[in-house]
Amino acid sequence: MAEAEGQSFPAVDFERTPADYKHWKVSYDGEIARVLMDVDPDGGLRPGYELKLNSYDLGVDIELADVVRRMRFEHPEVRTVIVSSGNDRAFCAGANINMLGASTHAWKVNFCKFTNETRCEIEDAERHSQQVWIAACNGTTAGGGYELALACREIYLIDDGNSAVSLPEVPLLGVLPGTGGLTRLVDKRKVRRDLADVFSTTAEGVRGKRAVKWGLVDGIYPRSKFDEAMAKRAGEVAQEAAAKAGDTPRKGITLEPLQVSVEDNSRSYGSVRFSWDDETRIAELEIDGPSEADLEVVRGGAEAIYAAGSKLWALRAYRELDDALLHLRVNHLNIGLVLVRAKGDAQRLLDHDAALAKALESGHWFVNEVVAHMARTLRRFDLTSRSFFALGDAGTAFAGNLFELALASDRFYLLDDPDQPVHVGLGALNHGVLPMSHGVSRLDVRFYGDDAAAKALAGKQELLDPESADDAGLVTVLLDDIDWDDDVRVAIEERASLSPDALTGMEANLRFPMPENADSKIFARLTAWQNWIFIRPNATGPEGALTLYGKPERPRFDWKRV
Amino acid sequence: MQPVSNSVDLTSKIPNNVGLSDDPKLRKALERWLPNYLDWWRDMGPSDFADKPVYLRTAISVDNAGWAHYDHVKMPDYRWGIFLNPLKEDEATIKCGDDAGKAAWAEVPGEHRNALRRIIVTQADTEPASVEQQRLLGHTAPSLYDMRNLFQVNVEEGRHLWAMVYLLHKYFGRDGRDEAEELLNRRSGDEDKPRILGAFNQPCDHWLSFFAFTMFTDRDGKYQLAALAESGFDPLARTTQFMLTEEAHHLFVGQTGLQRIIQRSAQLEKMDPNGDVRNQGGIDFDLIQRTINYWFTYSLDLFGGEISSNAADFFASGLKGRFREAKKYEDHKAQSGDYRMHLVEGGKLVEKDIPLRNAMNEVLRDEYVADCERALRKWNKVLEEEGVETRLTLPSRRFHRHQGIHAGHFFNPDGELISEDEYRANEQKWLLTPADNDYLLSIMKPVHEPGKFANWIAPPSRGIEGKPLEFEYVRL
Ligand SMILES: [Fe+2]
Ligand SMILES: [Fe+2]
């Protein structure tokens, strides 16, 4: 399909503001926010499909991601978010099938990954910000629609004898409910696995009392009582969440639009530069540490940090990084390797992190949001299917929170040159404040099985010279200035020559040692299976179920189990 | 649960040709369902006429002698039977789709179980729904003859529910039993438990709507049943084949009812010095046209989306055929070929070719529209014979739609795409209004004297089963 080349369509932009939402209406009433999904059928991101029955594409989900993020930063007073539908027939019919059917494999994968991250952000909002999402399913809730509901803490379904929750992917489309559906069914809602089996193979789904009995929803209400019941429940949930959030009044900040200058081969933000070379298939991602002035702000404590709003380095730079990562994923499919550099003053990064950690202890909501956002962005980095080499050459500042980028990269090359001394450093945020999606710090992942090494670094907040860093196990390859150019070049060339598929699979396996949790199961197990099924003839071959959905012919399966 | 007193004689109470007496499992399921059904009939069936003997036709077997047995019966004592057309071994094939020509299924195939259940439940839901919609009409019947026809339709819709519940009980296990219960729990027009399909939640509170309903909405039923009569699931095919024989009477009631009104209005127009039908207490032609516009289009919605993957699936898998699939068509696979239809794209009405299988709902709708046009021709012939100028028309199938590709766009009755403003400005002219209903209710006074008819409707050309018009069709 056309977007395989990535050039036939304009690049996807990930920045949204509420004023230009096409598909969502958000209203606020004190502690309760209402998010109404009302997808514009003609508002698809690409031509060729109609977003009927509140079905969605990437564009719809980019707006949702913006809703979720702004809710936390701009409306911290909100404790309950009720998501429901403005469509009179469906709550949400899930991902648009025609869009999926017409999409390339890469587009489907990127789409699913992004939607998965957004669903995880919904759960993250409850975990870290006491913002509890509740799904008020006021109509048919099918496929991705039910998966959206599953990301909410509670699900209520209208009891009109007709509206059902369902996961029709397997029986109708020959693919999986891949946006966390299967995982959340058994891992989060703890639906019995045999009932989950029945549910996931019944296209029409389950409604009414049985949906409650099986644990698929938390309650059902008739149409005449639905809105009232939702309002009541929202109030109760808000009260509970408020008890945990504390009663300090919170006033949101404004997430100002990112400043970016775009050129043919680069996007330059305030602190982030992302550039690419389509010829070599290599991109460079450079991030500047905080300035002296940025450090001063953080040293000023929680109130000063709050006053800086979205200009705060830790928020701005990470928003820029996040945006760059999304562009990398969706608009630069041929880029295989990303060289990552952190620039600035390593000691200043440690000071910055120490001050930020101190402000975090004060419990200020905004500081909490800033750190949670850093963590999410780093997780997006972990989950980006490109090779990352962190390069610690002259002027490097892989220290503190930016050292996480070195840990998140597949390899870390560090220069050891007495003429151009560099340092790396661990700070207050490296010891569990910025966990990976399976809940553990990158440092713990790095030293899984090597307790001695882990112990030696536990709680450490200091600069390390290249040799000590290497001794401590923080460096992949330590190179002196004579070897640097050649060795790095060879490593890059070698990497760029390997099979991109094999690398994607290998990296995804090597990046996440240690036990799984629900999030990592979604990104690893569920996604991997889904991506496999997506390329199987039974789904996307000429006679596959996904290809033929809505077409006059019925699918023909190759019955061999693989 | 209390043992049901009539459980012993269930088989004699329920005439059937499905071997109920030899099927203890099925009998048990029906025994459980029966009291709830009777409760439903008592609560939602025709109000206040339970103790009045009505001259009803009862089917007691499917052969020629047995299917039309006439007698005065109190409605609660009507014998709701379960009948399938007799099995014809050689004809029991899958009539359409990928497996056309193979042996039909005597049992539900697993892969089609859910789809078949949905099809049966959706059809079944319409049967009690119409009884609910019509429950108050007995009080304003224009004659005993019409009252009897209303009740005949009602008890047969009840029997159709039985027929569908039989299928659910017999072939769909516990799910089927649950669905059968739910059929008694939904209520037409109820905000919380509405009937499944739109037209079956519209109020039908006077006789003009009743006739229009039986003319247009029951006629949808005829075409749905006819499509299911081609089903590869043999018990469904044979059940619906038998239901069609009863449905024909409902259509007769609707078509002749409207025709008698049209005839009477023509007479009243001639009688009045100013040609004012209302002045003579009749129903003017504009109002009749608005009624046609309203019920015809709501009934069109019932056929489902013009472009439908469900329709394609049902056809491809042999669950639902076209009208007279076996007789009328040579190519039962319909794998290639397109159907050209009008649809709105970019604010304009354009023509587009849709793969034939995806257009099966529209193919069935074509048959229906042609059938309705035949009735319109008959009515206009009556107008011609009466010597009045007016002619009635069917609106475009794009007008006033709530389902399918035309829903959400605005068309005038000629099918031209217009703005919402223009539509709203003319809605009152095109569709039934509350004022229409008020007027109709004001003239609908019951007539109980045998052989007499309300002023706004002409008598029929003959009575029921050779009985004269003066016959006491309902003993009040
Ligand atoms: Fe019927
Ligand atoms: Fe009928």
Q: Which residue of A223, A225, A554 is in closest CB contact with B98?
A: A554
Ligand 1 centroid, distance to A217 Cα (angstroms) = 35
Q: Is position A265 within any domain?
A: yes
Q: Is position A534 within any domain?
A: no
Ligand 2 centroid, distance to B157 Cα (angstroms) = 6
pLDDT tops 70 at residue A338: yes
* Residues 6+ positions from A415 with CB-CB distance below 8 Å: A392, A393, A394, A396, A422, A466, A479, A480, A481, A484
Q: Which residue numbers of B have CB closer than 8 Å to A's CBs?
A: 98, 114, 118, 182, 185-186, 191-194, 196, 309, 312-313, 316-317, 334-335, 355-358
Give the rounded percent of residues in chain A with a pLDDT score beyond 70. 99
Interface contact B313-A554, CB threshold 8 A: yes
Ligand 1 centroid, distance to B296 Cα (angstroms) = 17
- If asked whether residues A334 and A402 sit together in one domain, one would say yes
* Residues 6+ positions from A244 with CB-CB distance below 8 Å: A130
Alpha carbon of B130: minimum distance to chain A alpha carbons (Å): 18
Alpha carbon of A226: minimum distance to chain B alpha carbons (Å): 10
Six token digits for residue A248? 């300090």
The pLDDT value recorded for residue A5 is 40
Using CA atoms, how far apart are residues B301 and B217, in angstroms rounded to an integer?
A: 10
Q: What is the DSSP string of B293-362?
A: HHHHHHHHHTT--SS-HHHHHHHHTTSS--TTHHHH-S-SS--S-EEEEEEEETTEEEEEEEEGGGGHHH
Question: Which residues does chain B have within 8 Å of residue A550's beta carbon, measured at their own beta carbons?
Answer: 309, 312, 358
| Mean pLDDT in residue range A154-173 | 93
Only one residue has tokens 């046009």, namely B373
Interface contact B312-A551, CB threshold 8 A: yes
C-alpha atoms less than 13 angstroms from C-alpha of A473 in its C-beta half-sphere: 16
Q: Is position B28 within any domain?
A: yes
Interface contact B194-A160, CB threshold 8 A: yes
Ligand nearest to the CA of B152: 2
Using CA atoms, how far apart are residues B324 and A37, in angstroms rounded to an integer?
A: 43
Question: Which residues does chain B have within 8 Å of residue A171's beta carbon, measured at their own beta carbons?
Answer: 114
CA–centroid distance for B470 within its chain = 29
The pLDDT value recorded for residue B10 is 58
Q: What is the DSSP string of B403-468?
A: SSTTTTS-B-TT--B--HHHHHHHHHHHS--HHHHHHHHHH-----STT---TTSPPPSS-STT--
Q: How confident is the model at residue B6 (pLDDT cuts 50, 70, 90)?
A: very low
| Mean pLDDT in residue range A140-151 | 96
- If asked whether residues A140 and A90 sit together in one domain, one would say yes
The pLDDT value recorded for residue B120 is 96
Average pLDDT over chain B reads: 92
Using CA atoms, how far apart are residues B314 and B95, in angstroms rounded to an integer?
A: 12
- Which conformational region is residue A10 in: left (phi greater than 0), alpha (psi within -120 to 50 degrees), or beta? beta
Using CA atoms, how far apart are residues A32 and B56, in angstroms rounded to an integer?
A: 60
- If asked whether residues A209 and A287 sit together in one domain, one would say no
Q: What range defines the domain where residue B88 resides?
A: 20-443
Question: Which residues does chain A have within 8 Å of residue B316's beta carbon, measured at their own beta carbons?
Answer: 552-554
Q: What is the DSSP string of A48-98?
A: S---GGGEE-HHHHHHHHHHHHHHHHH-TT--EEEEEE-SSSEEE-EE-HH
Return the residue of B nearest to A549 by Cα: B309
Q: Is position A537 within any domain?
A: no
| Mean pLDDT in residue range B234-263 | 94
Using CA atoms, how far apart are residues B142 and B151, in angstroms rounded to an integer?
A: 13
Ligand 2 centroid, distance to B412 Cα (angstroms) = 30
Probe site for chain B from A170, A554, A556 (most B CB atoms < 10 A): A554
pLDDT tops 90 at residue A530: no
Ligand 2 centroid, distance to B182 Cα (angstroms) = 20
The pLDDT value recorded for residue B66 is 65
C-alpha atoms less than 13 angstroms from C-alpha of A41 in its C-beta half-sphere: 9
Q: Is A549 on the interface with B (CB under 8 A)?
A: yes
Alpha carbon of A554: minimum distance to chain B alpha carbons (Å): 7
Q: What is the DSSP string of B356-401?
A: GGGGHHHHHHHHHHHHHHHHHHHHHHHHHHHT------PPPTTTT-
Probe site for chain A from B174, B309, B315 (most A CB atoms < 10 A): B309
Q: Is position B423 within any domain?
A: yes
Q: Check residues A23 and B47 and name the one with the higher pLDDT.
A: A23
| Mean pLDDT in residue range B188-213 | 91
Q: Is position A554 within any domain?
A: no
- If asked whether residues A203 and A296 sit together in one domain, one would say no
The pLDDT value recorded for residue B3 is 34
Q: Is position A305 within any domain?
A: yes
Question: Mind listing the pLDDT tens digit for each residue in B316-340?
Answer: 999 999 999 989 999 999 998 999 9
Ligand nearest to the CA of B153: 2
Q: Is A561 on the interface with B (CB under 8 A)?
A: no
Alpha carbon of B186: minimum distance to chain A alpha carbons (Å): 7
3-state secondary structure of A479: strand
Question: Mind listing the pLDDT tens digit for each residue in A127-138?
Answer: 999 999 999 999
Q: Is position B463 within any domain?
A: no
The pLDDT value recorded for residue A8 is 65
pLDDT tops 70 at residue A2: no
- If asked whether residues A272 and A185 sit together in one domain, one would say no
> The domain that contains A197 carries what CATH number?
3.90.226.10
| Mean pLDDT in residue range A328-344 | 96
| Mean pLDDT in residue range A336-364 | 96
Beta B348-355 vs B69-74: how paired, if at all? unpaired
pLDDT tops 70 at residue A274: yes
Interface predicted TM-score (ipTM): 0.75
Probe site for chain B from A553, A556, A557, A559 (most B CB atoms < 10 A): A553
* Residues 6+ positions from A41 with CB-CB distance below 8 Å: A50, A51, A52
Interface contact A550-B358, CB threshold 8 A: yes
Using CA atoms, how far apart are residues B363 and B143, in angstroms rounded to an integer?
A: 39
Q: Is A557 on the interface with B (CB under 8 A)?
A: no
Q: Which residues pair with A25 in a beta bridge?
A: A36
Return the residue of B nearest to A50 by Cα: B345
Q: How confident is the model at residue B4 (pLDDT cuts 50, 70, 90)?
A: very low
Ligand nearest to the CA of B228: 1
Only one residue has tokens 């009582």, namely A225
Q: Which residue of A171, A204, A552 is in closest CB contact with B357?
A: A552
Q: Are the beta carbons of A366 and A311 closer than 8 angstroms?
A: no
CA–centroid distance for B203 within its chain = 15
> The domain that contains B414 carries what CATH number?
1.10.620.20
Q: Are the beta carbons of A273 and A284 closer than 8 angstroms?
A: yes
- If asked whether residues A450 and A334 sit together in one domain, one would say yes
Question: Which residues does chain B have within 8 Å of residue A222's beta carbon, measured at their own beta carbons?
Answer: 191-193
Only one residue has tokens 């990954």, namely A113
- If asked whether residues A142 and A280 sit together in one domain, one would say no
Q: Check residues A247 and B53 and name the one with the higher pLDDT.
A: B53
Six token digits for residue A549? 């959905």
Q: What range defines the domain where residue A138 resides?
A: 2-245
Q: Check residues A180 and B61 and name the one with the higher pLDDT.
A: A180
Composition of chain A by helix, strand, coil, percent to 5: 50, 15, 35
Question: Mind listing the pLDDT tens digit for each residue in B421-443?
Answer: 999 999 999 999 999 999 999 99
Q: How confident is the model at residue A4 (pLDDT cuts 50, 70, 90)?
A: very low
- Which conformational region is residue B344 in: left (phi greater than 0), alpha (psi within -120 to 50 degrees), or beta? beta
Q: Is position B14 within any domain?
A: no
Return the residue of A nearest to B122 by Cα: A162
Question: Mind listing the pLDDT tens digit for each residue in A428-444?
Answer: 999 999 999 999 999 99
Using CA atoms, how far apart are residues B120 and B123, in angstroms rounded to an integer?
A: 5
Interface of A with B in 198-227 (CB under 8 A): 202-204, 222-225
Six token digits for residue A186? 């058994």
Q: Are the beta carbons of A448 and A522 closer than 8 angstroms?
A: no
Alpha carbon of A547: minimum distance to chain B alpha carbons (Å): 13
Q: Is position B109 within any domain?
A: yes
Question: Which residues does chain B have within 8 Å of residue A549's beta carbon, measured at their own beta carbons?
Answer: 309
- If asked whether residues A162 and A27 sit together in one domain, one would say yes
pLDDT tops 90 at residue A238: yes
Q: How confident is the model at residue B8 (pLDDT cuts 50, 70, 90)?
A: very low
Average pLDDT over chain A reads: 93
Interface contact B192-A224, CB threshold 8 A: yes
Alpha carbon of B308: minimum distance to chain A alpha carbons (Å): 7
Q: How confident is the model at residue B2 (pLDDT cuts 50, 70, 90)?
A: very low
Q: Is position B471 within any domain?
A: no
Question: Mind listing the pLDDT tens digit for each residue in A464-485?
Answer: 999 999 999 999 999 999 999 9
The pLDDT value recorded for residue B80 is 84
Measured between its terminal Cα atoms, the distance across chain B in Å is 36
Question: Mind listing the pLDDT tens digit for each residue in A12-47?
Answer: 999 999 999 999 999 999 999 999 999 999 999 998
| Mean pLDDT in residue range B218-238 | 95
* Residues 6+ positions from A560 with CB-CB distance below 8 Å: none
The pLDDT value recorded for residue A330 is 94
CA–centroid distance for B317 within its chain = 25
Q: Is position A410 within any domain?
A: yes
Q: How confident is the model at residue A3 (pLDDT cuts 50, 70, 90)?
A: very low
Alpha carbon of B106: minimum distance to chain A alpha carbons (Å): 22
Under 8 Å CB pairs connecting chains A and B tally to 48
Interface contact B356-A554, CB threshold 8 A: no
Q: How confident is the model at residue A303 (pLDDT cuts 50, 70, 90)?
A: very high
Q: Is position A195 within any domain?
A: yes
Instruction: Look at chain B and report how many structural domains it folds into.
Output: 1
Q: How confident is the model at residue B12 (pLDDT cuts 50, 70, 90)?
A: low
- If asked whether residues A167 and A290 sit together in one domain, one would say no
Q: Which residue of A161, A203, A549 is in closest CB contact with B114?
A: A203
Interface of A with B in 124-183 (CB under 8 A): 159-162, 171
Ligand 2 centroid, distance to B365 Cα (angstroms) = 18
Question: Which residues does chain B have within 8 Å of residue A159's beta carbon, measured at their own beta carbons?
Answer: 192
Return the residue of A nearest to B337 by Cα: A552
Q: How confident is the model at residue B363 (pLDDT cuts 50, 70, 90)?
A: very high
Q: Is position B160 within any domain?
A: yes
Given CA atoms B164, B169, B173, B179 in this order, what sign does their dihedral have? positive
Question: Which residues does chain B have within 8 Å of residue A225's beta carbon, measured at their own beta carbons?
Answer: 192
Instruction: Look at chain A and report how many structural domains it folds into.
Output: 2
Q: Are the beta carbons of A309 and A254 closer than 8 angstroms?
A: yes
Angle at A163 between CA A161 and CA A165, to 5 degrees: 125
- If asked whether residues A428 and A349 sit together in one domain, one would say yes
Question: Mind listing the pLDDT tens digit for each residue in B77-135?
Answer: 888 888 888 877 667 899 999 999 999 999 999 889 989 999 999 999 999 999 999 99
- If asked whether residues A209 and A118 sit together in one domain, one would say yes
Give the rounded percent of residues in chain B with a pLDDT score beyond 90. 81
Six token digits for residue B420? 């919402």
Interface contact B335-A552, CB threshold 8 A: yes
Q: Is position B315 within any domain?
A: yes
Only one residue has tokens 């319109």, namely B376
3-state secondary structure of A403: helix
- If asked whether residues A313 and A200 sit together in one domain, one would say no
The pLDDT value recorded for residue B1 is 34
Interface contact A552-B185, CB threshold 8 A: no
Query: Which amino acid is it at A414?
Result: L
The pLDDT value recorded for residue B199 is 85
pLDDT tops 80 at residue B65: no
Question: Which residues does chain A have within 8 Å of residue B118's beta carbon, measured at their own beta carbons?
Answer: 204
